[in-house]
Structure 1
């Protein structure tokens, strides 16, 4: 199946989930996760109209996206993987959104980076909803303090993000993230991947991060 057909199929599945959830299609942004895939695999999706992409690593994105953005200057790039504090300035220059703000040290680094580059990149705060420290994410109990610090540092937090534990029904974790976002007055919920994005949409996702269903299985 070519890129345009895969993209159309994902849009159809999103539209169906949105209808079931009695939501509007414009409420859900498809983030095409292009990590590990070369520019020649990304270009067909851009040609088919996809404009929002997700990358896991700053260096990988920096290597392949400048040339793609010359051809498609309206493409948006989201960082969906863990971010090291020493890469904060590079991320601030390259990305249009950061989904993995999860600790005070990174918050401090991003605030300084945003001041240096003269732009404030919208962020999702990653929550460790499944209590899996190896995945990164702020503990639920630490979320109010980190949000307060972000507001004080003028770091724009537009929502929350989570990666549920693998092999477990994801719905309870999506429901938890939705509740936390509501409790803290945040509109964004970055949740749901290739295998569970329809469930995430039913439970309030505003950004779904789809890689395998669009690009095929990674090597």
Structure 2
């Protein structure tokens, strides 16, 4: 049976191979271990294997894990990657280091107001609905710049880039098309604003296409921690 440490090593090898295949440097791409629904013991096991970036989808679950683990492992970087209701922004503002799923000015404004002055600005990504599916959150590509301009005026937020969840498909051509569109938007954003360095896209099933099209952070959950409970 493989351990969490084994699976992190396998995931990192996949990232490295995908990067080299398209003439990129492997250390350009970060692994975000998606630890939602998993117990703190699994996070500790991943930490002991060298993993430092963890993604959580649920506010209360993430808050509990951070409160428990931060005193013991202060160098863990906590990323919120799920949908966020406006009445739960305070928890994210006060506990997380990153927020990947901003798609409304109202959410950005609340996070900015509620971020404690004792903490560094909250790193944020704009979520883009690249697949244009009504069931998914995110702004249209045409709305990215307007939201970026709004966020850039907020002192307690630091805009780092874009995030997307593309169409779940085995159609490589469609994967490539959506990732390429997102990368184009990311490059335009990087030409306009400083600190733009994060293109959060790609999971286990589309990792190669994502990296080929410029991803700097891939989100991997079940391939590391096993199926969700």
User: TM bucket by the smaller chain?
Assistant: over 0.9
Deviates more, 1:69-78 or 1:121-130: 69-78
1:131 paired to 2:132: yes
Q: Distance in 2 between matches of 1:119 and 1:209?
A: 24
* Matched residue, 1:208: 218
Q: Distance in 1 between matches of 2:214 and 2:31?
A: 14
C-alpha distance after superposition, 1:162-195 (max 9, x if no partner): 0012235322111111000011213310000121
1:6 paired to 2:11: no
Structure 1 counterpart SS, 2:160 = strand
Displacement, 1:108?
A: 1.4
Q: Distance in 2 between matches of 1:118 and 1:195?
A: 35
C-alpha distance after superposition, 1:86-108 (max 9, x if no partner): 22221012111110011111111
Q: Distance in 1 between matches of 2:19 and 2:136?
A: 28
Displacement, 1:116?
A: 5.7
Q: Is the 8 A contact 2:93 2:112 kept in 1?
A: no
* Matched residue, 1:47: 48
* Matched residue, 2:186: 181
Q: Which runs of 5+ in 2 are unaligned?
A: 191-195
Aligned residue pairs total 219
Q: Which runs of 5+ in 1 are unaligned?
A: none
Deviates more, 1:110-119 or 1:37-46: 110-119
Matches within 5 A, 1:157-172: 157-167=159-169, 169=171, 170-172=175-177
CA RMSD of aligned residues (A): 1.5
* Matched residue, 1:199: 209
Deviates more, 1:173-182 or 1:62-71: 62-71
Q: Is the 8 A contact 2:180 2:213 kept in 1?
A: yes
Q: Distance in 2 between matches of 1:144 and 1:115?
A: 26
Q: Is the 8 A contact 1:39 1:65 kept in 2?
A: no
Displacement, 1:161?
A: 0.4
Q: Distance in 2 between matches of 1:191 and 1:34?
A: 17
Misfit runs of 4+, over 4 Å: 115-118
Q: Is the 8 A contact 1:76 1:96 kept in 2?
A: yes
Structure 2 counterpart SS, 1:122 = strand
- TM-score, length basis structure 2: 0.90
1:85 paired to 2:86: yes
Q: Distance in 2 between matches of 1:13 and 1:32?
A: 14
Q: Distance in 2 between matches of 1:115 and 1:215?
A: 32
